[in-house]
A = this chain, B = another copy of it.
Amino acid sequence: MPKDPRSHRLEGRLTVLHRKLSHFYAVSEAVERALVELCTREVRFERQQAIVEAGEAYQAVYLLAEGWVTRFKLLPTGDRQIINFALPGDFVCFNATLFSKADHFLTAKTPVRAYAIEKNPFGKLLALDPALAVALTWANAHEEALLAERLASLGRRTARERVAHLFCELWRRLHLIELTDNDRFPLPITQEDLADTLGLSAVHVNRTLRQLRNEGLIELGTNHVRVLSMRGLEQAAGFEDGYLHFTEVGQLR
Contacts and interface: CB of A to CB of B under 8 A. Distances in A.
Interface string A87-108: 0000000110011010110000
Contacts of A133: 126, 133, 137
Given A133-B133, A155-B198, A238 B141 contact: no
Contacts of A71: 148
A160 to B, nearest CB: 12
Interface residues of A, number: 52
A60 to B, nearest CB: 16
A140 B145 CA distance: 10
A46 interface: no
Contact of A81 (B79, B138, B155, B199): B155
Contacts of A134: 122-123, 126
A127 B131 CA distance: 10
Contact of A138 (B75, B83, B104, B122): B122
A148 B104 contact: yes
B152 A95 contact: no
Contacts of A149: 73, 103
A27 to B, nearest CB: 11
A137 B138 contact: no
6 tightest Cβ-Cβ pairs between the two chains A and B: A155-B199, A154-B154, A81-B152, A103-B243, A147-B147, A79-B156
Interface of A: 54-55, 71, 73, 75-77, 79-81, 83, 94-95, 98-99, 101, 103-104, 122-123, 126-127, 130, 133-134, 136-138, 140-141, 143-145, 147-152, 154-157, 196-199, 238, 240, 242-243, 245
Given A95-B145, A103-B243, A199-B199, 10 more contacts: A55-B242, A75-B157, A76-B240, A83-B148, A83-B152, A98-B138, A103-B145, A143-B144, A155-B198, A156-B199
